[in-house]
Amino acid sequence: MPKERSGPTMADVAREAGVALGTVSRVVNGEQVGDEFREKVNAAIRRLGYRYNNSGRALRTDRTNTIAFIIPNTINPYFALLVHHINVALEKRNYRMMLCFTDYDKDREIEFIRMAQQNRVDGIIALTYNPSLSIPEDIPFVTIDRFFSVSVPCIAADNFGGGALAARKLKECGCRNVAFMRIGSALTNEPSKRRDGFISACVEMGLPFEIKALEDNQSFSEFENFLSGHMHGGKLDFDGLFIGTDSLAWSIIKVLKKWNLRVPEDVQVIGFDGIRMFGDQECVVSTIAQPVQEIAETCVTTVLSRDLSSVPSLICLPVRYEFGGTTKG
Amino acid sequence: MPKERSGPTMADVAREAGVALGTVSRVVNGEQVGDEFREKVNAAIRRLGYRYNNSGRALRTDRTNTIAFIIPNTINPYFALLVHHINVALEKRNYRMMLCFTDYDKDREIEFIRMAQQNRVDGIIALTYNPSLSIPEDIPFVTIDRFFSVSVPCIAADNFGGGALAARKLKECGCRNVAFMRIGSALTNEPSKRRDGFISACVEMGLPFEIKALEDNQSFSEFENFLSGHMHGGKLDFDGLFIGTDSLAWSIIKVLKKWNLRVPEDVQVIGFDGIRMFGDQECVVSTIAQPVQEIAETCVTTVLSRDLSSVPSLICLPVRYEFGGTTKG
DNA sequence: AAAGATTCATGAAACGTTTCATGAGCAAGT
DNA sequence: ACTTGCTCATGAAACGTTTCATGAATCTTT
């Protein structure tokens, strides 16, 4: 059942103003129109209370001024920040965002791509968790943090550089033995380069290091085992920790405190992401901050750019070290 | 300039299958169609790689299966949670969400409503900050936390009951003198009833109380003045605090600690919202939790319901006390 | 003053669906 | 056998825009 007729159309306005339909269109779109015509049309628009209908335009032009953003959720603060900045960037260009939460579900990722195609969105920005997702070719598609192929631009922080930066910062703080810690299942694809960069810088600087992936992301018994393996006479045999994610860093610090290890005196901690909770938390972790706004802006300009073929297939944006009070400097 | 032709249409499928256009439509929409016809059509669809185009349908039916959600941002965790649950509720019903960030700007609220109308969304859910916003009448409109008029349904937590609950919980913990604290400019409209409920319950229980609105939401010197005004010989003359918002409660607790006041031993603290950061923070404030999921679900069922005239103009959903470790129980 | 160039309104044809009035075909009831 | 009723495919008419080929009117140039 169609809704009841939804108000006057351009044809009604044209009739009321005594001009041609096309003229109304050009007035509405701010194109070149003679002054007296524009006046008549505008008057008629006001008289009738005409309201533009985007559906007609979408059908005719096959452009919706809408971009689909595919992301697991908006609860993770990093994702929430992305949503925010992408929306701001889109709005600046008069585009709307169609938000798609996958909840990390591969089937929903696929389903959303199909839906986006049906809705004739003008592009898709996606942060997916299916490495073998098949990317549509008939619609501009860019990814965040996931490299698929040279024909699908991937926008990410400079994860490798960030990892290296963390290592250098730990060294600067006087660390002699460091470790990298992450949740095993997370940090796939581009973000996994945080580890690579860390390793590379440690090797280069001759800083002894260890890599540890925690498989269990609920309890932290694994980490506690790790700790006890490294305790000798009440002292840790490493003094710096680079942790793949701020949220994990938070949890780790909590465990450290439980073990009466002081941060940063006994062990330096650096996280990754640059997420601050509520702006002024009591304990703010030092972190390699992602340039979220730049990532968002780049995603949008890229996905809206005329032809993606002239765009680099991997765009890495510079990270920033943020001192948070849990390292010496 | 139109995009290049975007693929086969129903007409193409009809031709390929040797049936009428309308038949294709009915197959695609899963309506009653004879078996051999359905077969032919489906075969043709596969052969041609036909993809449904929502723009045509939107124009014809004037329904877009899209709801606009107007909200300041997605950085505030309460908002982020709302976005999430509303999207889940919409998706369940095969609706999409068009996200509109106002950044607390009244003009943008107005602009978004206009845009939503142009886009012929099927409804609007809004959490606005303009008490004199003019609500469109030709489109289903529901608000969160803001009561406009009896003809605009407002969905909110039971703020009054929540305030009263907080007072009772403080009393239960043994508090003898309590205070309510909020940022003066915030908590307008429905949420301001947190204070009313608090007052009402205090009066009823004969619990002495004080109300304090902080006008400066950057520094906390105001709160520190308040504190010193209530210190007598190193001891506070109140022992319970109900704070209008979890995020403010966080900051307040920080100041209390700075003053060497112990939470909960010296002063009980209860916040409002039920926002947990990262799931397992070290210090989790006790809180009156908003039923965010129920709010979201109710917004969606309400805005999509056939006629809003049969819907209550104010729907209050029950809150829940969540113990967080910063009160005695 | 005539011819060419420019400006700008007109009318009509799309765009891809849904939906409605027809009517064909067939089964059941008398 | 003849109606009645049902199921279900057909063809065409919308829905509200944009855009394009025409051509009228005005301006510029010589």
Q: Give residue-wise pLDDT tens across range A149-168.
A: 999 999 999 999 999 999 99
Amino acid A283: pLDDT: 56
Mean pLDDT of B90-107: 95
CB-CB neighbors (< 8 A) of A3 in chain B: 61-63
Q: Give residue-wise pLDDT tens across range B280-307.
A: 445 567 899 999 999 999 999 999 997 7
Q: CB-based contact (8 Å) between B307 and chain A?
A: no
Amino acid B1: pLDDT: 43
Amino acid A75: pLDDT: 85
User: Is residue A1 pLDDT above 50, yes or no?
Assistant: no
Amino acid A280: pLDDT: 44
User: Is residue A279 pLDDT above 50, yes or no?
Assistant: no
Q: Which nucleotide is nearest to B26 (CA to C1')?
A: C18
Amino acid B2: pLDDT: 43
Q: Which two tokens stand for residue B325?
A: 């470790």
Sheet with B240-243, side-by-side order of all strands: B209-214, B178-183, B240-243, B268-273, B286-289, B320-322
User: Is residue A281 pLDDT above 70, yes or no?
Assistant: no
Whether B14 sits with its Cβ under 7 A from any strand C atom: the answer reads no
Lowest mean pLDDT among A177-181, B292-296, B306-310: B306-310
Cβ proximity of A239 and A178 under 8 Å: yes
Mean pLDDT of B82-98: 95
Distance from CA of B158 to the nearest CA of A (A): 23
Which of A64, A256, A278 should be substituted to probe chain B, the one whose Cβ sees the most B Cβ atoms within 10 Å?
A278
Amino acid A5: pLDDT: 56
The rounded distance, in Å, linking the Cα atoms of B200 and B177 is 15
| Percent of chain A residues past pLDDT 70, beyond the cut | 93
Amino acid A318: pLDDT: 98
Amino acid A243: pLDDT: 94
CB-CB neighbors (< 8 A) of A284 in chain B: none
- Identify the band that residue A71 occupies on the pLDDT scale cut at 50, 70 and 90: very high
Q: Cα separations (Å) of B66 from A2, B94, B111, B160, B291?
A: 15, 9, 18, 33, 24
Mean pLDDT of A175-194: 84
Q: For tokens 């509109």, name the residue.
A: B100
Whether the domain at B66-157+293-317 and the domain at B159-291 fall into the same CATH topology = yes
User: Is residue A276 pLDDT above 80, yes or no?
Assistant: no
User: Is residue A2 pLDDT above 70, yes or no?
Assistant: no
Residue A134, number of CB atoms within 10 A of its CB: 9
Supply φ then ψ for residue B248, to 5 degrees.
-65, -40
User: Is residue A234 pLDDT above 90, yes or no?
Assistant: no
The one-letter amino acid at B307: D
User: Is residue A184 pLDDT above 80, yes or no?
Assistant: no
Q: Which residue of B has its CA nearest to A246?
A: B278
Lowest mean pLDDT among B62-71, B122-131, B241-250: B241-250
Beta bridge partners of residue A231, listed in sequence order: A236
Per-domain residue ranges of chain A: 10-52, 66-157+293-317, 159-291
Q: Which of residues 14-33 of A touch B (CB under 8 A)?
A: none
User: Is residue A218 pLDDT above 90, yes or no?
Assistant: no
User: Is residue A286 pLDDT above 60, yes or no?
Assistant: yes
**A179 secondary structure, DSSP code:** E
User: Is residue A313 pLDDT above 80, yes or no?
Assistant: yes
Which of B10, B54, B86, B284 should be substituted to probe chain A, the one whose Cβ sees the most A Cβ atoms within 10 Å?
B54
Amino acid A328: pLDDT: 55
Identify the H or E element spanning B181. Answer: strand B178-183
User: Is residue B327 pLDDT above 70, yes or no?
Assistant: no
Mean pLDDT of A292-296: 97
Residue range A10-52, CATH number: 1.10.260.40
User: Is residue A191 pLDDT above 80, yes or no?
Assistant: yes
Beta bridge partners of residue B123, listed in sequence order: B67
Cβ proximity of A302 and A144 under 8 Å: no
Considering only CA atoms, which of A207, A169, A160, A168 is closest in space to residue A187? Answer: A160
Q: CB-based contact (8 Å) between B143 and chain A?
A: no
Q: Give residue-wise pLDDT tens across range B161-177.
A: 999 999 999 999 999 99
User: Is residue A27 pLDDT above 60, yes or no?
Assistant: yes
- Identify the band that residue B142 occupies on the pLDDT scale cut at 50, 70 and 90: very high
The rounded distance, in Å, linking the Cα atoms of A10 and A24 is 6
Sheet with A66-71, side-by-side order of all strands: A314-317, A154-157, A141-144, A123-126, A66-71, A96-101, B96-101, B66-71, B123-126, B141-144, B154-157, B314-317
Residue A165, number of CB atoms within 10 A of its CB: 23
Considering only CA atoms, which of B154, B137, B131 is closest in space to residue B313? Answer: B154
Residues 9-28/B with CB < 7 A to strand D: 18-23, 26
Distance from CA of B97 to the nearest CA of A (A): 6
Amino acid B235: pLDDT: 85
Could you tell me how far CA A46 lies from the centroid of its own chain? 42
* CATH architecture of the domain formed by A159-291: 3-Layer(aba) Sandwich (3.40)
Amino acid B326: pLDDT: 60
Whether A147 sits with its Cβ under 7 A from any strand C atom: the answer reads no
Q: Cα separations (Å) of A29 from A19, A55, A58, A241, A323?
A: 16, 15, 14, 58, 50
Residue range A66-157+293-317, CATH number: 3.40.50.2300
User: Is residue B278 pLDDT above 50, yes or no?
Assistant: no
Whether B139 sits with its Cβ under 7 A from any strand D atom: the answer reads no
Verify cis geometry, omega within 30 degrees of 0, for the bond prior to A264: yes
Q: For tokens 């860019």, name the residue.
A: A142
Strands A314-317 and A240-243: unpaired
Give me the sign of the Cα torsion angle A195, A196, A197, A201: positive
Q: CB-based contact (8 Å) between B251 and chain A?
A: yes
Report chain A's mean pLDDT, rounded to a whole number: 90
Q: Which two tokens stand for residue A328?
A: 């010496």
User: Is residue B28 pLDDT above 90, yes or no?
Assistant: yes
- Identify the band that residue B56 occupies on the pLDDT scale cut at 50, 70 and 90: very high
Amino acid A326: pLDDT: 59
